[in-house]
Amino acid sequence: MIQTVYGSEEMSLKNVYKWYVRFRDGRESIEDGPRPGVSSTVRVEENVQKVAEILRNDHCASTSLIKEFTGIPETTVYRILTENLGKKICCRFVPYSLTDDQKDCRVEYCRDIKRSAARDPDFMSCIVTGDETWCFQYFE
């Protein structure tokens, strides 16, 4: 009968048994009960002030450093910084380890650019761009 009425949105038989046991054991509400984990009271004004004070002393403090000083979870620190204090969080570029072949290629690219600059007096009129992995050279 339930399948006829609710179709694909019916509760599974496993959940029906689970709720039956809960109500048989005295539960009277269908609302969610308290769950284990970090309390929502972590993001209170006192902790916002702690984070703000740390930032006043060191505006480059990382979320993990603030976590260590305050004991507040890092995700909560992030939310305090972005939502309560209106701070923008940026990531620092951390160079990754290059293999010896990659290092040799980079050295060769740099030498090639130096040779091009030595040969061509108008080299600076060329656009040279780069990122953390490659160098590109564009000529007009």
pLDDT in tens, 29-69: 888 777 776 555 677 889 899 999 988 888 778 888 899 98
| CA-to-CA separations, 3 to 6, 9, 99, 103, 108, in angstroms, rounded | 5, 8, 61, 65, 70
* Higher pLDDT, residue 128 or 106: 106
Classify 128 as helix, strand or coil. strand
Quick check: 140 pLDDT over 50?
no
Residue with tokens 């979870």: 73
| CA-to-CA separations, 135 to 5, 35, 113, 121, in angstroms, rounded | 65, 52, 9, 20
